[in-house]
Amino acid sequence: MLLGPPSGKKVLWQELLRHELLAALEQRPVVIVPVGSVEQHGPHCPQDVDISIPYHLALRTADAIDDFPVIVAPPQLLGFTHYNMGEVGTITLRLETFIDVLCDIARSIWANGFHRIVLLNGHGGNEAPTWAASVKLAEEDVWALALTYWNMAPDELRAWSEADEGGIGHGGEWETSLQLHLREGLVDMSLAVKDEWRVPFSEDVQRYAWFPERRREMEHGVMGDPFTASAEKGKRLCAVLVERLTALCREYHETEPLRYREFGSHCP
């Protein structure tokens, strides 16, 4: 039902046959769970920007690695995004529901024997909750690495930004660029607008103090400048992100799964 990579390689968890999953288990597989959100993204972008990006990054990484299995789990489309309500299109989960869903997904994958799990997040509002899910799971000795995609390339984002100063924004320079690269037909640049960011503190204080969001205060629901976006910039950033995710999967594959060590077990 969901689209796999253009090569036709089987990488989607839900499409694999039982014996293929069992064979993968023998090869120290990595499972990537794309985690996103369905929410307003300004007038020019579709609602599913924040799940489409981690989903495509996971697909491309799984497609690029042939010497061990990288499996893409069913994407978690819905996230924690109450602050985007108020513009049509947003569907949000409550914080506790979102964390519970992520934990149940990771527990299930772990119970199937897959012990190298990446929760690859694409939505700002999910960042802290996805980390919280990872922390909660660790308490149960279930290990899922929580990762938000733009944190894989902060230097490039800063260096290549023409307007948004390295921030991923919301329907701004970088999300729009990635959409133009990944799914150009779903973007309508004739409707693009640039909103001003409204923040309560000076630039100096913002560096260490900020509030969580409530309602998006921007007039059009955009953070950043989509007029500086281009498919070429999206392609450039996407290539770096896939490279970083690939490097992570390779090291994860080599690493023994984390396990809780009983207190005193290392004592003679």
Binding site for Zn ion (CB under 5 A): 49-50, 170, 175
H or E element, residue 99: helix 95-111
CB of 159 to Zn ion, least distance (A): 21
Chain residue whose CB lies nearest Zn ion: 50
Q: Which residues pair with 147 in a beta bridge?
A: 120
How is residue 206 written in tokens?
Answer: 């913002």
Distance CA(29)–CA(21), nearest Å, equals: 10
Q: Which residue's CB is nearer to Zn ion, number 11 or number 35?
A: 35
State the nearest-atom distance from the C-beta of 45 to Zn ion, in Å: 8
Measured from the CB of residue 239, what is the shortest distance to Zn ion in angstroms? Answer: 20
Sign of CA dihedral 10, 38, 42, 242: negative
Q: What is the DSSP string of 127-150?
A: HHHHHHHHHHHHHTT--EEEEEGG
Looking at residue 68, its amino acid is F
* Pick 49 or 218: Cβ nearer Zn ion: 49
Q: How far is the CB of 207 from Zn ion (least distance, A)?
A: 22
As a whole number of Å, the end-to-end CA separation of the chain is 54
Whichever of 30 and 76 has its CB closer to Zn ion, that residue is 76
